[in-house]
Amino acid sequence: MTILEIDFRPPLKVYRLHHCGRAHRTYLTFARCVWKNALWVHPTEHSENLPYALVSNCQKPYLSGDQRTVTLFGTRENADKQLEWIDRTGCGGGCYRAHEVIRLKMTP
Ligand SMILES: [Zn+2]
Ligand SMILES: [Zn+2]
């Protein structure tokens, strides 16, 4: 018997594997290509399976250009926990809570 697990959390924005001419084999290389101009893209674990990206879109007033920062997580739980944390404490000077979790999909 299958137990249906009902997820009441709002659905995440999904970024599917794009066609940029490169074959991305890991979520990290995929994410680094999606957010090419980000300040940094950091994996939280030494794993190839990190499909949850926590993106901070806050533009700091003392910097110019794309200042996004991206952190990759293996589970939505961990990404949500970190999102809650930076929503509470801020992601740095000039933070205005423009944070979101995005689900990366390597398979169609
Ligand atoms: Zn790409
Ligand atoms: Zn922020």
| Each residue's pLDDT expressed in tens, for the chain with a length of 108 residues | 667 777 788 889 999 988 888 889 999 999 999 999 999 999 999 999 999 999 999 988 877 888 899 999 999 999 999 999 999 999 988 899 999 999 999 876
Ligand with minimal distance to 95 CA: 2
CA of 29 to the centre of ligand 1 (A): 8
Tell me whether residue 52 is exposed, middle or buried, using C-beta atoms within 10 angstroms of its C-beta: 0 to 12, 13 to 18, 19 or more. buried
User: Which has the closest alpha carbon to 44: 76, 22, 12, 15?
Assistant: 76
Please give all residues whose CB falls under 5 A of ion ligand 2, grouped by chain where several chains appear.
56, 58, 91, 95
Give the burial class of 64: count Cβ atoms within 10 A of its Cβ; 0-12 exposed, 13-18 middle, 19 or more buried: exposed
Prediction pTM value: 0.88
